[in-house]
């Protein structure tokens, strides 16, 4: 896993981050720090380090420069002055390099180690083929290091994090050691540093086989530094497909989207349609290609996205079912699985009551969902009386309201109710999905508020004026009871016939004396309720 991280590490930083141009590199000699530009073979002295540094390395996370000296002390280096500050003892090492996440690796003899940046403590993570005489270098996704026997070694790692180390060639005899080895930007060359010179190693020579073949090394800059180069540090801007990975080809369901997202620090992005965002939302089938660049470094990856149709599913429009009937919902689709709202998994569903019914049909991991609302309905119902009587000047409302019904009255009106205020025959036809009903009613009008009052004095002296005592009414008044009581509570008159509710002032054929009598009157009011009135009447002779 550690070596896999090394292979996929990227010393990524744009120019503003490192303060380095693409072909610039820090170089450490016996006691000094330089900044060199291999594109112009120019160099400037930064300052004295005050110690022998075997190798140096730039941390891409915080842009700090580190070094390992001849006594094994890990130290930080001021990039402006060259001054050093000891962190702790790591052991004598010939090579340092950083991963993009800021993990420092070093070579201790033939052991690959990680180094704690706070204490300098080392941890062995792997055994190498040969002790390194100089830098580890990541180039074109492969890890190289120069060995003590003038050989160039390659560390190969497969997808299962298995590693192998092999020698791929010998340096020429006139290049005994390459203490510095590194890649600069996306240059097609690997650079080596020895004595005061800068060498190039071409790609074809790096894959020479067998290992007895010489590795061609060319002089790039001669005597760039009047001293002995021991270490080099740059920020190699390298992108590989392990960093840029759009993923495996995809098959999506109709209507689905996916966002392809890459996040590579300081990178520029270019998609197949010339959009330049780091994220791209896919809504249709096609080949999607992303090219990522940092300065002159580029990498490209593509992904093919295919779409398949969702299974056809249509439960139909919302519907009404008459009571007593059943409805079968059919979601049958070839090679499908089913799920209904109640958890059942059949392809059909038998509806026997109202409600919302939901079917989910899945084919090849693509799912369609449909809902149907079923309403159960009864035939229309009316429960009017056949006849009705209303007071003159009042209105009765004939209400035929039924759910989801239509109406047709005798006057061709189509409202659910009809206001009636006169005598007549009225009818309505009510129709809904489940049937039809007709209803007729005879409405009569009558004069109401028939009770007018009752006298409190009468004189039964046969003069034809106020000779009887009876309720006063202006229309037919249906009496229930009419009784007269004397002062002792004796009933002196009781109505036998409502039409003849009249007292003539006699009891059992004899005249009753002048006196105050009590009456009880009961009759039906306009609402059909019994209304009672009590009072007194004075008989005067």
Residue 46 CA to chain centroid, in angstroms?
56
Residue 311 and residue 256: Cα distance in Å, rounded? 14
Residue 184 has pLDDT above 50, yes or no: yes
In the sheet with 231-233, reading across from the earlier edge strand, the strands are 42-48, 32-37, 24-28, 231-233
Residue 520 has pLDDT above 90, yes or no: yes
Q: Which of 171-180, 298-307, 329-338 has the highest mean pLDDT?
A: 329-338
Task: State the pLDDT at residue 287.
Answer: 97
Q: How confident is the model at residue 85 (pLDDT cuts 50, 70, 90)?
A: very high
SS3 (DSSP) at 507: strand
Mean pLDDT of the chain: 84
Task: State the pLDDT at residue 500.
Answer: 78
Superfamily of domain 387-446: Immunoglobulins (2.60.40.10)
Mean pLDDT of 214-238: 71
The dotted CATH code for 250-308 is 2.60.40.10
pTM tops 0.85, yes or no: no
**Segment among 12-16, 247-251, 358-362, 367-371 with least mean pLDDT:** 12-16
- Which candidate, 400, 405, 446, places its Cα nearest to that of 427? 400
Task: State the pLDDT at residue 238.
Answer: 43
Task: State the pLDDT at residue 15.
Answer: 29
Distant-in-sequence contacts of 151-159, Cβ < 8 A, 24+ apart: 151/211, 152/201, 152/206, 152/215, 153/128, 153/129, 154/206, 155/3, 155/6, 155/7, 155/128, 157/3, 157/4, 157/6, 157/7
Architecture of domain 2-233: 6 Propeller (2.120)
In the sheet with 286-294, reading across from the earlier edge strand, the strands are 250-253, 297-308, 286-294, 268-271
Residue 12 has pLDDT above 50, yes or no: no
Question: How does strand 268-271 pair with strand 286-294?
Answer: antiparallel
Tens-digit pLDDT profile for residues 273-311: 999 999 999 999 999 999 998 766 778 899 999 999 999
Mean pLDDT of 437-455: 92
- Which candidate, 134, 172, 137, 176, places its Cα nearest to that of 154? 137
Tens-digit pLDDT profile for residues 39-69: 888 999 999 999 999 889 888 788 899 999 9
Of residues 189 and 36, the one with the higher pLDDT is: 36
Q: Categorise residue 169: left if φ over 0, alpha if ψ from -120 to 50, beta otherwise.
A: left
Query: In this prediction, what percent of the chain has a pLDDT beyond 90?
Result: 55
Q: How confident is the model at residue 499 (pLDDT cuts 50, 70, 90)?
A: low
Residue 98 has pLDDT above 60, yes or no: yes
Determine contact, residues 72/92, Cβ cutoff 8 Å.
yes
Residue 20 has pLDDT above 60, yes or no: no
Mean pLDDT of 407-430: 96
Domain assignments of the chain as residue spans, ordered by start:
2-233, 250-308, 319-368, 387-446, 451-539
Task: State the pLDDT at residue 210.
Answer: 43
Residue 203 has pLDDT above 70, yes or no: no
> Could you tell me the sign of the dihedral formed by the alpha carbons of 186, 188, 189, 190, in that order?
positive
Task: State the pLDDT at residue 134.
Answer: 61
CB atoms closer than 10 angstroms to residue 358: 16
Residue 30 and residue 26: Cα distance in Å, rounded? 14
Question: How does strand 530-539 pair with strand 457-458?
Answer: parallel
Torsion angles phi and psi, residue 204, rounded to 5: -60, -35
Query: In this prediction, what percent of the chain has a pLDDT beyond 70?
Result: 79
Cis peptide before 210 (omega within 30 of 0): yes
Cα 416 to Cα 365, 405, 499, distances in angstroms: 51, 8, 42
Task: State the pLDDT at residue 79.
Answer: 94
451-539 has the same fold as 2-233: no
**CATH value of 451-539 in 3.20.20.240, 2.60.120.260, 1.25.40.10, 2.60.40.1220:** 2.60.40.1220
Q: How confident is the model at residue 474 (pLDDT cuts 50, 70, 90)?
A: confident
Task: State the pLDDT at residue 11.
Answer: 31
Task: State the pLDDT at residue 14.
Answer: 31
Task: State the pLDDT at residue 294.
Answer: 74
SS3 (DSSP) at 237: coil
């Amino acid at each position: 896993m550690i070596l896999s991280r090394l292979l996929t590490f990227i010393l990524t930083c744009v120019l503003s981050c490192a303060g380095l141009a693409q072909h610039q590199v820090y170089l450490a000699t016996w006691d000094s720090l330089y900044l060199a530009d291999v594109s112009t073979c120019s160099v400037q002295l930064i300052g004295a380090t005050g110690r022998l540094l075997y190798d140096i390395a730039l941390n891409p996370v915080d842009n700090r420069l580190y070094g390992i000296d001849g006594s094994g002390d890990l130290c930080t280096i001021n990039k402006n002055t060259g001054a050093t500050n000891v962190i702790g003892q790591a052991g004598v090492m010939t090579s340092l390099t950083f991963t993009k996440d800021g993990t420092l690796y070093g070579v201790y003899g033939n052991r690959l180690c990680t180094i704690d940046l706070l204490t300098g403590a080392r941890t062995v993570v792997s055994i190498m083929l040969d002790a390194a005489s100089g830098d580890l270098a990541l180039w074109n996704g492969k890890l190289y290091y120069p060995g003590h026997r003038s050989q160039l070694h390659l560390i190969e790692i497969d997808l299962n994090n298995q590693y192998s180390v092999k020698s791929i060639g010998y340096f020429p005899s006139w290049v005994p050691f390459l203490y510095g080895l590194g890649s600069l930007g996306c240059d097609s060359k690997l650079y080596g540093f020895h004595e005061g010179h800068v060498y190039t190693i071409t790609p074809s020579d790096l894959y020479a086989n067998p290992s007895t073949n010489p590795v061609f090394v060319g002089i790039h800059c001669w005597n760039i530094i009047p001293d002995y180069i021991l270490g080099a540090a740059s920020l190699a801007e390298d992108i590989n497909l392990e960093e840029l990975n759009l993923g495996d080809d995809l098959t999506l369901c109709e209507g689905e989207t996916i966002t392809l997202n890459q996040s590579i620090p300081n990178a520029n992005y270019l998609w197949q349609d010339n959009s330049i965002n780091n994220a791209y939302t896919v809504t249709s089938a096609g080949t999607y290609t992303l090219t990522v660049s940092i300065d002159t470094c580029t990498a490209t990856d593509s992904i093919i996205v295919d779409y398949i149709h969702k299974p056809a599913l249509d439960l139909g429009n919302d519907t009404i079912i008459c009571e007593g009937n059943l409805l079968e919902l059919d979601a049958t689709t070839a090679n499908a699985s089913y799920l209904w709202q109640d958890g059942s998994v059949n392809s059909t569903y038998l509806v026997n009551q109202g409600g919302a019914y939901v079917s989910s049909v899945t084919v090849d991991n693509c799912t369609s969902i449909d809902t149907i609302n079923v309403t159960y309905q009864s035939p229309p119902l009316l429960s009017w009386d056949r006849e009705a009587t209303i007071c003159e000047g009042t209105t009765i409302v004939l209400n035929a309201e039924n759910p989801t019904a239509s109406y047709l009255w005798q006057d061709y009106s189509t409202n659910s109710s009809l206001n009636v205020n006169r005598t007549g025959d009225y009818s309505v036809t009510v129709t809904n999905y489940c049937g039809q009903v007709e209803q007729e009613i005879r409405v009569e009008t009558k004069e109401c508020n028939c009770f007018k009052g009752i006298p409190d004095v009468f004189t039964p002296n046969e003069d034809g004026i106020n000779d009887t005592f009876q309720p006063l009414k202006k229309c037919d008044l249906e009496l229930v009871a009419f009784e007269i009581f004397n002062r002792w509570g004796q009933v002196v008159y009781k109505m036998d016939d409502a039409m003849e509710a009249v007292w003539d002032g006699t009891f059992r054929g004899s005249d009753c004396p002048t006196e105050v009598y009590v009456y009880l009157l009961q009759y039906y009011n306009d609402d059909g309720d019994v209304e009672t009135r009590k009072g007194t009447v004075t008989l005067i002779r």
